[in-house]
Structure 1
Amino acid sequence: MSHGKQFTLYTHKSGPNGWKVAYVLEELGLTYESIYLDFQSGEHKAAAYTKYNPNGRIPAIIDHKNGDFTLWESDAIILYLVDKYDPEHTISAAADADKYLQLQWLFFQASGQGPYFGQAAWFSLFHPEKIPSAQERYKNEILRVFSVLEEVLSKREWLVGDKPTVADISFIPWNNFAISGLLPGVELAEKYPALLAWHGKLTSRPAVKKVAEIQAEVKKQ
């Protein structure tokens, strides 16, 4: 493989966690090549990939300008990228206290948002049997997470400090998924106005819009 670009990003055309890493790479102006693994054929479980990520999930990155350093788990990747390549803290917290708040929100995203939103998507869209109790449980978890975010964002513009950081950016892909189809019958604008305003500002960022365009194109392929 030619390493004309600094990073190789192993990802998936639809998987939200890979797109969140792409947002950060774009925000920081880092060059990368995306390799979209085919889940249907099991590429994410094959030895050619699990040598990089033994968990057999996406994403994973290789930093070719740092000795082919390899890392998996999306929020760990995000922290690596800003720690190493955002010295001016354009999208990351600078103050010590804010760094821990940023970490707090990244942990909440990784533990409270991603898994529950993923299960909501699975039981609503992909599970071979319709299990109403499971659908209801995970829909309620989305609403719980949305309520946490709404409570905070009704009092402040961004999750950490006075600017958007990776703490905010990390929530975009799964929120996209939930807002676009996992909450039928829920009046989002009425219940979560601050969250929707925040999400709209994030998705209007040039780097995020660029990645959204790339995502739309690769989904056609």
Structure 2
Amino acid sequence: MSDSKQFTLYSHVGGPNGWKVSYVLDELKLTYETKFLNFDKGEQRSPEHTKFNPNGRIPTLIDHSNNDFVLWESDAILLYLVDRYDKDKHLMSADMGEKYQIIQWLFFQSSGQGPYFGQFHWFSARHPEKFPSAIERYRTETLRVFGVLESVLSKNEWLVGNKMTLADLSFIPWNYLALSSMLKDDKDFNFKRDFPATSAWHAKLEAVPTVKKAFEQRAFLLANIL
């Protein structure tokens, strides 16, 4: 493990969940080394990784400043980081009600957005056979999730309170996957027209320096390494 960085993050260049953790580490100005695993070689299931994460998925975070504490599952990692290191409540709220609303959105992201968007991506772009019924089901669910976000963001600038929080950041990499890959050739879909408030919110988050930096790093790695 790295002696000079506070954390080691096991991630994947194309996988959205690892980038969620990068956003928060950067927002909290924490130092870390990212080890990008090669899924084609099965590195996520290698003993070198599963000794930390028995699920063989990413992300996995090791906190070297806390006795090499290991944690996996992206939203659990996000909550750990703000509980331990976000003393100024930069990405959380000091209000108990708002805190649990943020957690509510993290649960929705991990149980709704991530799985539905992931299945849509798999059946529309990765599965060797085309199953129109599966593609349509998960496309419909993807649009439904955007609709849930729109119903809130049409009334509020952010998902919780009057500032960007963990809740907002957790959605961005999966949104990006949907918009850049899954829906980019869908002639019936227009993000700005169909979900104007969500589109504006997404664009505002893309412009956040730490998020922008991560997008640029991901693009560079995809172009030069994979």
Aligned to 2:206: 203
Letter of the aligned partner of 1:188 in structure 2? Answer: F
Provide the C-alpha distance between the structure 1 equivalents of 2:205 and 2:3, rounded to a whole number of angstroms.
Answer: 31
Aligned to 1:190: 193
Aligned to 1:132: 132
**Once superposed, what is the RMSD of the aligned Cα atoms?**
0.8
- Asked if 1 retains the 8 angstrom alpha-carbon contact of 2:2 and 2:8, the reply is no
Provide the C-alpha distance between the structure 2 equivalents of 1:216 and 1:197, rounded to a whole number of angstroms.
Answer: 22
- Asked if 2 retains the 8 angstrom alpha-carbon contact of 1:26 and 1:211, the reply is no
Alignment TM-score, normalising by the size of structure 2: 0.96
User: Structure 1: which 4+ aligned runs deviate by more than 6 Å?
Assistant: none
Equivalent pairs counted in the alignment come to 221
- Asked if 1 retains the 8 angstrom alpha-carbon contact of 2:61 and 2:77, the reply is yes
Q: Deviations over 1:76-132 (max 9, x none)?
A: 000001111101111112200001000000000000000110000000111000100
Provide the C-alpha distance between the structure 2 equivalents of 1:177 and 1:210, rounded to a whole number of angstroms.
Answer: 16
Matched, 1:61 2:61: yes
Matched, 1:214 2:217: yes
Q: Deviations over 1:158-211 (max 9, x none)?
A: 011100001000000000011123121212211100000000111100111111
Aligned to 1:50: 50
Alignment TM-score, normalising by the size of structure 1: 0.98
Provide the C-alpha distance between the structure 1 equivalents of 2:192 and 2:135, rounded to a whole number of angstroms.
Answer: 22
Matched, 1:72 2:41: no
Once the two structures are aligned, what percentage of the paired residues are identical?
Answer: 60
Letter of the aligned partner of 2:173 in structure 1? Answer: P
- Asked if 1 retains the 8 angstrom alpha-carbon contact of 2:102 and 2:166, the reply is yes
Provide the C-alpha distance between the structure 1 equivalents of 2:124 and 2:10, rounded to a whole number of angstroms.
Answer: 26
The DSSP-based 3-state class of the residue aligned with 1:8 is: strand
- Asked if 1 retains the 8 angstrom alpha-carbon contact of 2:153 and 2:198, the reply is yes
Provide the C-alpha distance between the structure 1 equivalents of 2:33 and 2:2, rounded to a whole number of angstroms.
Answer: 10
Q: Deviations over 1:46-89 (max 9, x none)?
A: 11101111110000000000100000000000000111110111
Shift of 1:2: 3.1
Matches within 5 A, 1:100-119: 100-119=100-119
Aligned to 1:157: 157
Gaps in structure 1 of 5+ consecutive residues? none
The DSSP-based 3-state class of the residue aligned with 1:89 is: coil
Aligned to 1:37: 37
Provide the C-alpha distance between the structure 1 equivalents of 2:2 and 2:158, rounded to a whole number of angstroms.
Answer: 39
Provide the C-alpha distance between the structure 2 equivalents of 1:205 and 1:94, rounded to a whole number of angstroms.
Answer: 22
Aligned to 2:5: 5
Aligned to 1:28: 28
Q: Deviations over 1:124-172 (max 9, x none)?
A: 1110001000000000010000000001000000011100001000000
Gaps in structure 2 of 5+ consecutive residues? none
Provide the C-alpha distance between the structure 2 equivalents of 1:2 and 1:140, rounded to a whole number of angstroms.
Answer: 44
Shift of 1:3: 1.8
